[in-house]
Amino acid sequence: MSVLSTCPFYRILQCAVLILTASQHMSESASSWTYLGNGGQENWKEVFPDCGGTAQSPINIQTANVSYDESLPPIQPIGYSNPGTDYFTLRNNGHTVVLSLSSSMHLRGLPYNFTAAQLHLHWGSTSLPIGSEHRIDGEFYPAEMHIVHYNSEKYTDINDAKNMPDGLAVLGIFLEAMPSSAADNPAYGKFFKYLENVSYAGQTVAIPAFSVHSLLPDHLDQYFQYKGSLTTPPCHQSVTWTVFHEKVQISASQLDKLQTVIYSSRSVDVPVLLQNNVREPQPLNQRTVYSSFHVAHAESFSKGQIFAIALGTILGLVAILGIVFFVVRTYSKKNRMDVEGKTSEAATKPPSGPAEQVEVKSFQA
């Protein structure tokens, strides 16, 4: 028994520390969530009621049901190309990697002026590259980037705005992998090269500011828009979603890096790779998805539909070839039989020439 443990004052202090530690742990447990397991997405609504709401994100965008709105203007990023000489902070928060953005970056083309706050990513795994949260006609992509903005016309900061119906605007960008031999996407390389610096939860690194505009697709006039929510707890239904139609390509090695170097665990814990940080598509319910462009449905077939169409076409061609072969074979067989029949008939019949000649001769006589 140590001298200290016999001291009443020390015991009181020790109890106070234990109580504080326990309450802090309880509050961490109450706010912790995961994608799978006990704290998984099926149970988010038990702790975060908004996650059980009727206007949740992400969704599967069914292009046959979207409503074309010709009044939707192109999205205009202001200050995205010139973020100044500030540093961005890249952070692993245990659920994703978050890049803080400059407040000099704004969006036009939405009902209010929205100021950029941060961007982050969602991705799958090397064995299951279902990394996008939104889907288009059931089609998913290897990763999706979200650039989060708050309504700076009505609210003072993102905390003030995050629970308001018109509080947030998020841009959704699908990321695709190019063939393995293709070079890296240099714009994404500007922050992907720092991913190893934030491998573990809680780690941060300052990186030189760069053009966030270069992370965007070229066609900012073609997008889907709908009212939804944060795709992670607390799932506030405060987001005007703008999901771009055009995908952005990164290299296969950049995608592989995203899938393999980030951990949801802290550096002192047993390492747990952060993969599949993707929420399942949520019911659309009574909401309308608008499009800023005429959607070409021919381009929106899923891989399964394309496979079914290709298979049906091949089977159809095989069937037509089979019928043609059968008809040709039957016709040539019939011809052959006719020829053979005539030949055998000619062989058994007495020659008609002389008889006719006899008959003619007799007539003449």
Give me the active site residues, please. 95
223 strand-pairing partners = 244
* Binding range to Zn ion, per CB under 5 A, among 226-234, 240-248, 285-293, 333-341: 226-234
Q: Decide if residue 236 touches Zn ion (CB under 5 A).
A: no
The Cα–Cα gap between 140 and 135 comes to 5
The residue type of 40 is G
Between 40 and 73, whose beta carbon lies closer to Zn ion?
A: 40
H-only helix segments in 231-294: 252-260
Q: Does 146 bind Zn ion (CB under 5 A)?
A: yes
Gap between the terminal Cα atoms of the chain: 156
Question: Between 1 and 36, whose beta carbon lies closer to Zn ion?
Answer: 36
Nearer to Zn ion by Cβ, of 231 and 295: the residue is 231
**Which of the ranges 99-107, 108-116, 144-152, 271-279 carries the binding residues for Zn ion, by CB under 5 A?**
144-152
Report the nearest approach of Zn ion to the CB of residue 37 (Å): 20
Total of chain residues touching Zn ion, rule CB under 5 A:
2
Other beta carbons within 10 Å of 76: 13
Binding mask 70-109 for Zn ion (x = CB under 5 A): ----------------------------------------
What is the smallest separation between the CB atom of 146 and Zn ion, expressed in angstroms? 4
Identify whether the C-beta of residue 7 lies closer than 8 Å to the C-beta of residue 18. no
Give whole-number Cα distances, 157 to 149, 169, 195, in Å: 10, 13, 27
CB of 144 to Zn ion, least distance (A): 7
Q: Give the x/- contact pattern for Zn ion in 325-364, rule: CB under 5 A.
A: ----------------------------------------
Separation CA 315–CA 285 (nearest Å): 39
Q: Which is nearer to Zn ion, 75 or 168 (CB)?
A: 168
- Minimum distance, C-beta of residue 109 to Zn ion, in the bound complex (Å): 20
Contact of 67 with 290, CB cutoff 8 Å: yes
Min. distance of Cβ 143 from Zn ion in angstroms? 11
Q: Is the torsion defined by CA of 151, 115, 143, 261 positive or negative?
A: negative
Binding status of residue 245 toward Zn ion by CB under 5 A:
no
- Considering only 30-38, 41-49, 145-153, 309-317, which stretch makes contact with Zn ion by CB under 5 A? 145-153
The enclosing H or E element of 305 equals: helix 303-348
Q: How many angstroms separate the Cα of 215 from the Cα of each of 120, 175, 331?
A: 12, 10, 65
Which residues have CB under 8 Å from 236's CB, separation 6+?
50, 162, 163, 167, 168, 229, 230
Angle at 82 (CA atoms; ends 77, 88), nearest 5 degrees: 95
Nearest residue to Zn ion by CB is 146
Q: Which stretch binds Zn ion (CB under 5 A): 80-88, 149-157, 216-224, 228-236?
A: 228-236
- Smallest separation, CB 138 to Zn ion (Å): 20
**Residues making contact with Zn ion (CB under 5 A):** 146, 231
